[in-house]
Amino acid sequence: PVDFSGTWILETNNNFEDYMKILNIDLVTRKVAVHLSQTKVIIQDENKLTIKTLSTFRNYEISLTIGEEFDECTKGLDNRKLKTLVSWEGDTLVCTQKGEKANRGWKHWLEGDKLHMELYCEDVVCHQVFIRK
Ligand code: RET
């Protein structure tokens, strides 16, 4: 499969504000977070995955096994409890986050030397593009 491992720097972040709003993230956090430079550190080893979202303000980290549902708590984001499952759809990593909010999840894929990420919840889609550090 595709290897997403590496350190990635956020290049574009489309609709992140609306994504945070739909998650009911408070105004003060949103105002700070929308301008943050974000770095993703991805460690992919067989079917194990660690994804760190790093910023000067706050970090968020998940570790998971692809294909196995796990309990996710989005601590420091919207602080919800989710049943999360990440799996392959072709060369795309697809995540579904079951919980209070409908249609919640994300997708990761590569295009050329860039990492694309779509974060979605209800009818809102945020599209982020990262370049390799
Ligand atoms: C930051 C800064 C503090 C406020 C918010 C943040 C949002 C992080 C998000 C991370 C999503 C990570 C995923 C990783 C999976 O690959 C940047 C930590 C709201 C939404 C889905």
Mean pLDDT of the chain: 97
Q: Which tokens belong to 125?
A: 């889609």
Query: What is the mean predicted confidence (pLDDT) over 78-106?
Result: 98
Q: Which of 57, 60, 84 to mutate to test the pocket of ligand 1 (most atoms within 8 A of CB)?
A: 60
Phi then psi dihedrals of residue 20, to 5 deg: -65, -35
User: Is 20 close to ligand 1, i.e. is its CB under 6 Å away?
Assistant: yes
Q: pTM here?
A: 0.96
**Model confidence band, residue 96 (pLDDT cutoffs 50, 70, 90):** very high
User: Is 10 close to ligand 1, i.e. is its CB under 6 Å away?
Assistant: no
Q: Where are the beta strands (DSSP E) in 1-133?
A: 6-14, 39-45, 48-54, 60-65, 70-73, 81-89, 92-98, 105-111, 114-121, 124-132
Contact 131, 8 (CB under 8 A): yes
Query: What is the mean predicted confidence (pLDDT) over 47-61?
Result: 98
User: Is 60 close to ligand 1, i.e. is its CB under 6 Å away?
Assistant: yes
Q: Is pLDDT above 90 for 1?
A: no
